[in-house]
Structure formats: structure tokens, C-alpha cells
Amino acid sequence: MGRVMQQIRGAVPSEKRLSKEAVTSIVLHGFFQFGASMSSVFLTLYLWRLTHSLLVSGMFNIVVFLFTPVGFALAGWFAKRKDRMVAYRIGIVGFVFFYLLVILSGAAVAKYYVLFAVINALASSFYWTAYLTLMYEVSNEQNRMRYLSLNMIAFTLAGLAGPALAGLIISRMDGLKGYMIVFAFAFVMFLLTTIGSLRIKTLQSHHRAYYLHLMFLPFRKNRNWRWSLIAYYIYAMLQGLMMFLPNLLLYQATPREDLVGYLGVLFSGLAVLTGYGFGKWGKLRFSKRYLALAATGYIVGASLLLWKLDIVTIVIYMVLYSSFNVIQGNILTNHYYRIIGELPLKGALRIESIVMRELFVNVGRITAILVLLATASNLTGPMLPLVLLAAAMFQFVVVFLVGERGKGGEK
């Protein structure tokens, strides 16, 4: 086995090889995603089973996205003044507390869903602020596309296994007992992630000052950075809808939690294959073509839903979205990390840049969900596919906002 691993490692060019901390970060993220995918998918269905209200489901996500930028700002301060691993562990402990509270509260989650949404947002903010910063630090321009692809594969494989196991557990239990067991599994996985994070060292940095209040200055002056943030806003409009709608649509069409989980395996498997292929054969110089292809795929899928909303068209749409979202997300992340290195202080503003990105991402998510709630009162009417189609069509704007590397950054 050791000889095989050496041969595999030797087949990778030296400039694209990953450090031990890069590998560790991918493994830990896989543990985290396994717990998160088990729980978050079925937290949406749990709320739906308790309320059968699109308004409650939508408002839960709006509250999450509303408080996430606040959490990112706080987490950024912790990461800058202390260390990104301090923020990382606070986020994991926050998830442990969140799901422990879900287990203890039971059906009361529906009554106090706003409080649960706030806790979820703050825990998520601390985790993702730290992890997105860590992704930047453990990779470079030579190996970043490979790192992001491997990270996506681990993330998606965990997201593949989690919903399948959760769906199996829930289908074997009466009432809502299965949901409680799933949340308990997530609790354990987050604990393991916290322990594993001790393997990543803290960093001593001379740049402890937190410049978040000054970040609108480079937003005005640096055109490439400004456009990339606007691109994330548009990208997030579709992503925000897809963070909770697919599970509700699938459950409405089946309605079986285990089948929702098994279909999640299919979608995650396609994302793994796409991530592997894109990491191996994808070329940065074709970024605009890939983004245009992704937008086209989204539009085709949403058009099918507009024509007919049933299990077949929902699955086809999810197949298209799962595949193209990997490509679109990889390109946007790679592009944004490259621009971070071109900002003042040459990468020292990475935490502030990530906080700013999340502000635009969450405003985009909130915008799309508010439009959905204002136009669609249920899951079966014609307005829901129309909102998805509009969000898909907007993705063509991203193609023009993600520029090629070169001149013209300051403007």
C-alpha cells in the first residue's frame, strides 16, 4: 500500500502536491460535512413535518442568512486577533450545542425556529470563516485547483453517505424518533472534528489589526474585486433557493425521507465525478466557457420544472444542478482567492475579504428567498419554477463579471 501511495504521489507534479495540513483540512472537512449533511438535510424536513409551511421554511433560512454576515464579522475578529483555529473550534462547538438543543427541544423547534436559526447562523459563520481562511492558507496558485477539487470530492462523498444513512435511520423509526437519532449522530461527528482540529497548528501573525471597516475602500477602487463580489451575490441567489427547496420538492413528490436520502446519494455521486474530472482536466483559461455552460444547464433544468413538476423533472433538474454547481463554485472560489492576493497587504486581508464575500453571498440568498415567498404560496404552483428559472438566467451575468487575470484591477 505504501508503495502504491508513493507511485500515486510521484505521478503528481511537485508544484501541485498538497501539504500535510492541506490533507488534514480536507479530512476534517469531510468529517464535518458527514455530520452536517445527515442533520441539515433532515432539519429542513423536520421543520416541514412539524409545520407544513413554506413560509416557516423560508423564514428559517432568511433568519439564518440574515445573521450569518453578523457572525462572519464576529468570527473574523476572533480569527484575526486570536487565530483562525480558535474561530474554527468555536464554530464546531456551536454546532454541537445547536444539535444538542434540537434533541432536547423536540417539537418545540417549530415554535422557537427563529432562535434556532440564529444559533445555527452563528455556529456556521465561525466554522466557515475559519475554514475558508484555512483553504486559502494551505493552498497556492499552483495547486489550488487540485486542492479545491479534492476538497469538493471529500465534501461531496461525505454529503453522499450522510443523507443515505440518515434516510435509512428515519425510515426505520416511528414518528419523529429517527430525526432525533440523526441529530445525535451529527453531534458525535462534530465532536470528532473538534478533536481532529488540534492537529492543525495555530499561526503567529504580525497582522492582528482587523480592517473590516475599511474594506469598502478597495471595493470602490479595485474593479476585479468589486465585480467578483457582485458575481457571488448573483451566484448566491440560485444557491440560496437550492439549499432547502430540493428536499422539500422531493419529499412532496415521493413522500419518503429514505428516498430523499438515496436520491441525495445520486446527486452527490455525480458531484464527486464532476469534481474529479474538473480537477484533472479543467483549464482556468476556459473559465468563462465553463460558467456559460453551467448557466445553460441551470436554465434547461428549470425549464423542465416549468413544463412539468414531478419526480422525473425534479431529479433531472437536480442532476444538472449538482454537476454544474461544482464547476461554477470551483471557478468562483479560485478566481476570488487569486484576487485576495492582489489586494493591499498581499493576502493579509484574507479574513476581511472572506467576511465581505459572505455579506454579498447572504444578501443574495435572502433576496431570492424573499422573492420566492412574495410570489409562491406553496410548492406546487407555477411561480416556484419561474423563480428558479429567473435565478438561473441571472447566472449568465456571472460570466461577464468574472474577468481574466490581467490589467485593469484598479479602477
Please state the three-class secondary structure of the chain as a single string: CHHHHHHHHHHCCHHHCCCHHHHHHHHHHHHHHHHHHHHHHHHHHHHHHHHCCHHHHHHHHHHHHHHHHHHHHHHHHHHHHCCHHHHHHHHHHHHHHHHHHHHHHHHHHCCCHHHHHHHHHHHHHHHHHHHHHHHHHCCCCCCHHHHHHHHHHHHHHHHHHHHHHHHHHHHCCCCCHHHHHHHHHHHHHHHHHHHHHHHCCCCCCCCCCCCHHHCHHHHHHEHHHHHHHHHHHHHHHHHHHHCCHHHHHHHHHCCCHHHHHHHHHHHHHHHHHHHHHHHHHCCHHHHHHHHHHHHHHHHHHHHHHHHCCCHHHHHHHHHHHHHHHHHHHHHHHHHHHHHHCCCCCCCCCHHHHHHHHHHHHHHHHHHHHHHHHHHCCCCCCCHHHHHHHHHHHHHHHHHHHCCCCCCCCEC
Predicted local confidence at residue 256, as pLDDT? 74
Count: domains in the chain: 1
- Which residues 6+ apart lie within 8 Å of 256 measured at CB? 171
Give the model's confidence band at 4: pLDDT under 50 very low, under 70 low, under 90 confident, else very high: very low
Rounded to an integer, the average pLDDT of 106-116 is: 86
Predicted local confidence at residue 2, as pLDDT? 43
Question: Is residue 7 situated within a structural domain?
Answer: no
Give the model's confidence band at 1: pLDDT under 50 very low, under 70 low, under 90 confident, else very high: very low
User: Cα torsion for 206, 212, 213, 217, to the nearest 10°?
Assistant: 90
Range from 39-53, 68-82, 193-207, 295-309 carrying the lowest mean pLDDT:
193-207
CATH code at 49? 1.20.1250.20
Q: Quick check: 346 pLDDT over 70?
A: no
Q: Quick check: 92 pLDDT over 90?
A: no
Question: Is residue 384 situated within a structural domain?
Answer: yes
Query: Angle 311-340/257-281 helices, nearest 10 degrees?
Result: 40
Q: Is 19 left (phi over 0), alpha (psi -120 to 50) or beta?
A: beta
Q: Quick check: 7 pLDDT over 50?
A: no
Question: Is residue 13 situated within a structural domain?
Answer: no
Question: Is residue 10 situated within a structural domain?
Answer: no
Predicted local confidence at residue 405, as pLDDT? 45
Per-residue burial over 178-202, b = 16 or more CB atoms within 10 Å of its CB, e = otherwise: bbbbbbbbbbebbbebbebbeebee
The predicted-structure confidence for 273-317, as pLDDT tens digits, reads as follows 887 777 677 777 788 899 999 999 999 999 998 888 888 998 999
Distance separating alpha carbons of residues 276 and 278, to the nearest angstrom: 6
Domain that includes residue 376, residue range:
20-200+212-401
**Cβ-based neighbour number of residue 144 at 10 Å:** 22
In terms of pLDDT, which residue wins out, 384 or 348? 384
The predicted-structure confidence for 355-411, as pLDDT tens digits, reads as follows 889 899 999 999 998 988 888 767 777 888 899 999 999 999 999 998 654 344 555
Predicted local confidence at residue 373, as pLDDT? 87
User: Are 366 and 62 in contact, with CB atoms under 8 Å apart?
Assistant: yes
Distance separating alpha carbons of residues 127 and 190, to the nearest angstrom: 11
Question: Is residue 218 situated within a structural domain?
Answer: yes
| Burial class (CB within 10 angstroms; exposed 0-12, middle 13-18, buried 19+) of 211 | middle
Predicted local confidence at residue 227, as pLDDT? 93
Question: Is residue 98 situated within a structural domain?
Answer: yes
Q: Quick check: 207 pLDDT over 60?
A: no
Q: Look over the chain and give the mean of its residue pLDDT values, rounded to a whole number.
A: 81
Predicted local confidence at residue 139, as pLDDT? 79
Rounded to an integer, the average pLDDT of 321-334 is: 88
Residue type, 119: I
Question: Is residue 4 situated within a structural domain?
Answer: no
Question: Is residue 12 situated within a structural domain?
Answer: no
The predicted-structure confidence for 220-237, as pLDDT tens digits, reads as follows 888 888 999 999 999 999
Q: Quick check: 214 pLDDT over 80?
A: no
Angle at the Cα of 187 (from 186 to 193), degrees rounded to 5?
85
Rounded to an integer, the average pLDDT of 8-37 is: 76
Predicted local confidence at residue 176, as pLDDT? 67
Q: Quick check: 161 pLDDT over 80?
A: no
Distance separating alpha carbons of residues 126 and 41, to the nearest angstrom: 20
